Amino acid sequence: GAVVSQHPSRVICKSGTSVKIECRSLDFQATTMFWYRQFPKQSLMLMATSNEGSKATYEQGVEKDKFLINHASLTLSTLTVTSAHPEDSSFYICSARPTPGQGKSEAFFGQGTRLTVV
């Protein structure tokens, strides 16, 4: 199988603080990972594409200085929500796209992180 581990699964933080969310591909390498956000009772919206060794590509309307993405290795991407506010409370989900040559033809999702900013 192909497993993507996302950590933490739940986090509560105070307004104004920063929170880091990790997305790891456990049994495959992923040059590219994707970060999505899902507000309650809504669909998933792509926030950004994370590329190993280069800058992330952000979707229109997503603040790159607020949502810092680092893809430091072929198995790990992190999303840091900086100076979090209550409106950032959401469900964040990552997916990892296997590097070609590993016999996998789809991206695999983590289990998501429920962020609550109080």
The contact set with other proteins (CB under 8 A) reads 6, 32, 34, 36, 42-46, 49, 93, 95, 97, 105-107, 109-112, 114
Q: How far is CA 5 from CA 15, 22, 77, in A?
A: 26, 8, 11
Nearest to other proteins of 84, 93 (CB atom): 93
Cβ of residue 91: shortest distance to other proteins, in angstroms? 8
Identify which of residues 65 and 106 has a Cβ nearer to other proteins in the complex: 106
Dihedral of CA 109/113/79/46: which sign? positive
Strand, coil or helix: what is 98? coil
Considering the complex, state which of residue 71 and residue 97 has its C-beta at the smaller distance from other proteins: 97
Burial class for 91, CB neighbours closer than 10 Å (0-12, 13-18, 19+)? middle
> Smallest distance from the beta carbon of 86 to other proteins, in angstroms?
19
**Closest distance to other proteins from the beta carbon of 21 (Å):** 13
Beta carbon nearer to other proteins, 13 or 107: 107
Give residue for tokens 């033809």.
105
Instruction: Provide φ and ψ at 88, rounded to 5°.
Output: -85, -10
Q: State in angstroms the smallest separation of the CB of 83 from other proteins.
A: 26
